[in-house]
Amino acid sequence: MPNRVVVSKLGGPEVLKYENYDLPKNVEENMVRINQTSIGINYIDTYHRTGIYPLPVEIPFCLGVEAAGDVIEIGDNVSNLKVGDRVAYSFSPPIGAYCEVRDFDSQRVVKLPEYISNDEAASILLQGMTVEYLFERLYKLQKDEVFLFHAAAGGVGLIASQWAKSIGAKMIGTVSTDEKASLAKKNGCEFTINYKEEDVQSNVLKLTNNEGVNVVYDGVGKDTFDISLKSLKFRGLMVSFGQSSGMVNDVNLHSTFNPKSLYYTRPTLMHYIRNSEELTECSNKLFSKIKNKEIKPNIFKKFKLSEASKAHELIQSRNSVGSIILCP
């Protein structure tokens, strides 16, 4: 019997339980059965585990939105894939990636090119496609444009640093240590600000001739919300795409955004890959960046699937610099 990790009750990393499970006897007509070799750990998994993002599922439930592996069986209506293909996915709903074998919608997986390994795919697909929609479609960054990105040495931040460099944009990245600053700069971040030792707003103003930036990408949330708003110029765009430090408190829309006529959006990747065409466009842009060596996957650490709770402790410590994956 295959194994999986489930949330036994809402709470901390200790609620994750490793258990056996049964597979359906037959694969549904539009699905593929995947022998998963690599599973991506993402911060959104902690929101699902704790209930910050409530899910319409009963407890216990299997966690995870991203994985890669080999197709071992296909449904009767599947024509775009065959047994033996290497594939990856990063899509929710449905969750359930923390397992050894899984059935998944054939229109929601991407076939992996030969130059990307399963481990690399599981470590970069969600984060890389997140950067693609943030930089290419939500707001189109321009060559030489200066912008602010929080947590520049995290998994998404390091990809963002590389992507920005590849298009000639100048990223100001916030970090918590000098080591993380060096890593972000090595990956293409133009400027870094150690938010534990330096004032972010004043440094952003120094770097932008006291104007501020057109756009801030904020995946941190509560701890950086006010800093992000103060760093924007008039009619600037606040992109709040996550909250690793916690949910932002209720705000007064008039007093918060009216003084500089600011724009605000709270996007999610799933709304930018709503169909197979958008998924293909998004993933192909990422794969092209990898093929051209403009972006390199960065696997920080691997854990066994049975050690998922340890992986969650690490990602929530904010001491990781890159991606974390589980290996069944």
pLDDT digit string, tens, across residues 219-246: 886 778 999 999 999 999 999 997 666 6
pLDDT score of 319: 76
Calpha distance 38→190 (Å, rounded): 32
Calpha distance 206→147 (Å, rounded): 13
The CATH H-level superfamily of 3-116+297-327 is Medium-chain alcohol dehydrogenases, catalytic domain (3.90.180.10)
Arithmetic mean of pLDDT, 96-110: 97
Q: Which residue has the tokens 């059965």?
A: 33
Arithmetic mean of pLDDT, 261-271: 95
Q: Which run of H or of E encompasses 130? A: helix 118-132
pLDDT score of 236: 98
Cβ pair 212, 190 in contact under 8 A: no
- For 79-104, give one letter per residue: b (16+ CB within 10 A) or e: eebeeebbbbbbbbeebbbbbbbbbb
Percentage of the chain lying above the pLDDT 70 cut = 98
pLDDT digit string, tens, across residues 248-258: 778 888 889 99
Calpha distance 68→123 (Å, rounded): 9
Question: Which CATH number applies to 127-269?
Answer: 3.40.50.720
Cβ pair 40, 133 in contact under 8 A: no
pLDDT digit string, tens, across residues 19-69: 999 999 999 999 999 999 999 999 889 989 999 888 999 999 999 999 999
pLDDT score of 240: 94
pLDDT score of 221: 65
Residue 40's CB is within 10 A of a number of other CB atoms, namely 28
Query: For residue 105, is pLDDT > 90?
Result: yes
Q: Which of 63, 160, 71 is nearest to 112 (CA)?
A: 71
pLDDT score of 313: 95
The strand ranges marked E within 143-290 are: 146-149, 170-175, 191-194, 213-218, 232-240, 263-265
Give the CA angle between residues 316, 319, 321 to the nearest 5°. Answer: 110
Q: The sheet that has 3-7: what strands, in order across it? A: 16-20, 3-7, 61-62
Q: Which of 138-142, 206-210, 214-218, 319-323 has the lowest mean pLDDT?
A: 319-323
pLDDT digit string, tens, across residues 118-175: 999 999 999 999 999 999 999 999 999 999 999 998 889 999 999 999 999 999 999 9
Domains of the chain, residue spans: 3-116+297-327, 127-269
Query: For residue 217, is pLDDT > 70?
Result: yes
pLDDT score of 15: 98
Cβ pair 286, 129 in contact under 8 A: yes
Position 210 confidence tier, pLDDT thresholds 50, 70, 90: very high
